[in-house]
Structure 1
Amino acid sequence: MINENSFGNSRLDYIRVANYYYKSGLTQEEIAKNMNISRQRVNRMLSKCIKMGIVRISIEGVDETNLGLETELEKKFGLKAVRISGNVSEENVYEEIGKIAAEYLAGIISKGDIIGFSRGRSMSALVDCMPAIKSNNVTITQLMGGWNNEQTKIKVDDIVHRCSEKINATSTVLYAPVVVNNPRLRQAIINEPFFYEAYSVIKSCSIAVVGIGDATNKKILPTMEKEDYEYCIDKNAVGEICAHFFDINGKEIKTPLDERVISVELEDFFKIPMRIGVAGLKSKIPAILGALRGGYINSLVTDLDTAQILSQK
C-alpha cells in the first residue's frame, strides 16, 4: 500500500483523485482500491479538492431561482424553511404567495397530520391553489373563532371546509366567534363540552398555517373596538397572529381584548412543531419581522421584495 503520509502531498494527487471521482465516475471504494489507499483518505481528499479550488461545483438553474436568498433567511432567522415567490404587486400578492404556500404545504403533509388554519386572504388564496391530493388520515381545523361580518371565502371555517374537501381530509370547527362581548361569555363558551373537544384537536396540531396581520390596520379584526385598536397602537404593536399581538421584537402584547378572544392559546400555539407564516408586501415587513424575532413562525412564505428587505434587517 502507498504510504498515506506521503500520498496527497502534491496537487497532482488531488487532481487525479478528483478526475477518477467526478470525470470517470468511480466510487470512493473503487478509487481507494486503484490508488491502494484507504477509502477514508479518498473522502478527505475529495473534500479538500473543493477548498483548494480544484473542483468547483455549479448547479444548473440555481441562479434563476431564489434558493440562495431562501437559505440565507433560513439561517438568519433559524427557520425550518423559506419559500419565495417572484416579484408581486398589491393586486396579485395573495394569489402568487398562496400558490407557493400551497405547493409547499402539499409537499410536507404526512399521514396523521392535524393542520390548523387562521383566517385571511393569504389563507384563502392558499386553499384556492391547493392541489387535489389524497391525504391519509389528515385533519384540518381552525385555530381561532370566526365571525359573520366578512367575506365568506376568507372566513376561517370556510377555509377549513374548502381545504378538507380538496385533500380529502376530516374537518373540525370551533363553532364560536373570535371576539365576544365580555369575559364571562368567553368563559362560558370554553367551558362547553363541544369547545373542549374542538380545542383538544387544536392542541394536537402538527402544522399551523397562519397569516400575519398588520396591527396598524384598523380593520385587522372586524369586531375590534376603537379603544382596543388604540390600546394596541399605544403599546407599539406591529403584528398579529390568531388575535395575539406583538411588537417589532416579537414581544407579546397583552391587551384587554385577550379576555374576550376565542383563539388558540399562545402557549399551545408555540408547541405546534411546524408553524408556517404566509405574508408579503413591504407594508407588512414590521409584522413579519416581529413574528420571526418572536418565534411565532418557524417557516415563511413571502414575496421576493419582502424577502430581500428581511435579509438586510
Structure 2
Amino acid sequence: MDIYECLLRRSRCQGSGVPVTAPAARYSSLTGKKRSTMADNDTQRLMIKVARLYHTHGVRQTEIAKRLQISQSRVSRLLAQAEEASIVRTVVAVPQHIHAELEEQIEARYGLSEVHVVDTVSHDESEVNKDLAHTMASLLYELAFEVKTIAFTSWSKTLRLMVDALLPLRTRGEYVVETLGDLGPPELQHDAARSTQQFATLTGAQPVFLRTPGVVPSREIKELLIARDPYVRMAMEMLDSIDVALVGIGTCERDPELRSGDNFFTDEQFEHVRERGAVGEVCLHFIDAEGKPIDSELEDLVVGVTLDQLRNARHRWAVAGGERKHQAIRAAVAGGWVDTLVTDAGTAAFLLSEPAGSAAEAARAGARTAP
C-alpha cells in the first residue's frame, strides 16, 4: 500500500507540470530568463509575419527581405523554423474514394460504415503511418456531425502523427478524453499528454487526462486508483458516453518504445495471451482472429476505456496499416470494434483475401446480434 501511495503522489506531481525549483535559484536566474523570453517572443513575431507574407499573401522572399530590412537568407531560415514549429503546416488534400470499389467490398464484407484506402509512398512502416495519419486528419477536418465527447488514444503513434497534421476542426467538440492511463517512460508520457492537449486545442474542446498508470499489477490496485482519485473516476465515467472513439490497432508484440513491465505488460504476459489465441489488441484489450475478446486476467490490469464503453461509442474510427498488423486489423474489423477504417492498399487487399463465409464473417454476424 505504501508503494501505491508513492506512485500516486508521483503521478499527480508529474501531471501538474509544475517544476520544483529552489527560490534562490529562481531569483538568481530571473533577469536572464526575462531577457531570453523577450528575445524569443520577438523572433516568433517576426517568424509569423514572414510566414504570413510568404504563404498567405504570396510575397516573394526577396521582397520580404526588403520590407523587413533583413537578409534573404534569414527569411529562408525563418520560413524553415516556422515549419519546424508547426506554425506553417503542409496539408495534401487527397481526393476520397480513389479506391471506391475496393472500399465498398470491404464495407460490405465486414459491415463497416466507411473504409478509406490510402496509396502509400513506401512500404516502410513509418512512412505508411505518416500517409495514413494525413488521411485521418483530412477526414476529421471534414467531420459533418455534432460531437461532444471524443475518446483519444494518445499512445498510438499514427494518431499522434495525425494531430501534427491536423488543422483546427470545423466541428467543435466539448471534451477530449484519453482512452488509457500512462504507459512507458516519462518522456513518452509527456509526448502523449502534449498530443492530447494539442488535439483538444484543435477541436476547441477541454482535454481530460487519465493521469494514472495504464497497466497496474493487480485488480485491487486498479479499483483503489479509481476509488481514491476523483479525476480518474471522472475520466472513466465520461468514457460511458463517447461520440467518436479514435483508436489504433496493435499487435501482440511489445512496442520497442515501451519497456517490459514499465506501466505496461511484460514479455511473459504477451506470450500468455498469444498462447490463448490473441492476434491483436484494441486499447490494450486482446482479441483473437475472429475478434473475440481473450479471456485473461490481463483485462483486470488495464486502466482505461472498457470493451463495453468502446462497443457503445456512436462511432469507432481506427487508423492502422502495414503488413505486420494485417491479422490484428482483420480481427478488429471482424469483431465489430471498428466502424470506420483508414488503412493502406496492401492491407485492404489482405482483408478481402479471406474467402466469403469465413470464420471472421461468422464472428462479425454474432457480434452484431449480441445484446
| TM-score (structure 1 length as normaliser) | 0.74
Relative to structure 1, the CA distance from residue 63 to residue 130 in structure 2 (aligned partners, 3 Å threshold; closer, same or farther) is closer
CA distance in 1, matches of 2:133, 2:96: 23
- The separation in 1 between residues aligned to 2:237 and 2:218, in whole angstroms, is 24
Q: Given the alignment of the two structures, is residue 173 of structure 1 paired with residue 245 of structure 2, yes or no?
A: no
Contact 1:84 1:100 in 2 (8 A): no
1:143 to 170, 179, 184: 179
* Pairs aligned (count): 252
Offset, 1:221: 5.8
From 278, 287, 291, the equivalent of 1:237 is 278
Consecutive unaligned residues of structure 1, counting only runs of 5 or more, are 1-61
Pick the aligned partner of 1:271 from 312, 316, 319.
312
Residues 1:150 and 1:294: Cα distance change in structure 2 (over 3 Å): farther
The equivalent of 2:337 in structure 1 is: 296
Quote the residue 1:280 is aligned against.
321
Distance in 2 between the 1:154 and 1:226 partners? 24
2:159 corresponds to 1:123: yes
| 1:84 maps to 2:117 | yes
Query: Shift of the alpha carbon at 1:236?
Result: 1.6
| Structure 1 contact 144–156 (Cα < 8 Å) conserved | no
Separation (CA, whole Å) in 1 of partners of 2:96 and 2:218: 55
Going from structure 1 to structure 2, the CA distance change for 1:64 and 1:122 (only over 3 Å counts) comes to closer
- The structure in which a higher percent of residues are helix is 2
C-alpha separation between the residues in 1 aligned to 2:150 and 2:267? 33
Instruction: Report whether the alignment pairs 1:191 with 2:191.
Output: no
- Whether contact under 8 Å (1:124, 1:153) holds in the other structure is no
Could you tell me how far apart the structure 1 residues matched to 2:182 and 2:197 are? Answer: 13
Q: Do structure 1's residue 204 and structure 2's residue 241 form an aligned pair?
A: yes
Return 5+ residue gaps in structure 2 as ranges.
1-94, 355-371
Deviates more, 1:122-131 or 1:82-91: 82-91
Contact 1:120–1:154 (8 Å) recurs in 2: no
Shift of 1:168: 2.2
**Whole-Å Cα distance in 1 between the matches of residues 222 and 97 of structure 2?**
51
Provide Cα deviations, 1:193-247, integer angstroms capped at 9, x if missing partner: 2222111221111100100001144659642123211101111211011110001
Equivalents in 1 of 2:156, 2:331: separation in Å?
A: 19
* TM-score normalised by structure 2 residue count: 0.63
Partner of 1:13: none
C-alpha distance in structure 1 between counterparts of 2:219 and 2:97, whole Å: 53
Per the alignment, residue 30 of structure 2 pairs with none
The code of the aligned residue for 2:106 comes to L
Question: Structure 2 matches for 1:18-29, cutoff 5 A?
Answer: none
CA distance in 1, matches of 2:225, 2:301: 11
Equivalent pair of 1:141/1:171 in contact (CA under 8 Å)? yes
- SS of 1:246's partner is strand
Tell me by how many angstroms 1:110 deviates: 3.6
Q: Does structure 1 retain, via aligned residues, the 8 Å contact 2:140–2:169?
A: no
The RMSD of aligned alpha carbons is: 2.3
Which of 307, 310, 313 aligns to 2:351? It is 310
Aligned to 1:75: 108
CA pair 112-297 structure 1, distance change in 2 beyond 3 A = closer
Partner Cα separation in structure 2 for residue 274 and residue 226 of structure 1? 32
CA separation of 1:203 and 1:64: change in aligned 2, threshold 3 A: closer
SS in 1 for 2:142: helix
1:161, distance to aligned residue in structure 2 (A): 1.0
- The correspondence of residues 85-104 of structure 1 with structure 2, limited to 5 A, is 85-87=118-120, 88-90=122-124, 91-104=126-139
What is the letter of the counterpart of residue 111 of structure 1? E
% identical equivalent positions: 25
Which letter does structure 2 place at the counterpart of 1:256? Answer: E
Residues 106-156 of structure 1: CA distance to partner in whole angstroms, max 9, x if unpaired? 222543431111222111111111112354343211111112516538954
Q: Secondary structure at the match of 1:116?
A: strand
Q: Identify the residue that residue 224 of structure 1 maps to in structure 2.
A: 265
Secondary structure of the residue aligned to 2:116 is strand
Contact preservation (8 Å) 1:147, 1:177: yes
Q: AA paired with 2:111? A: G
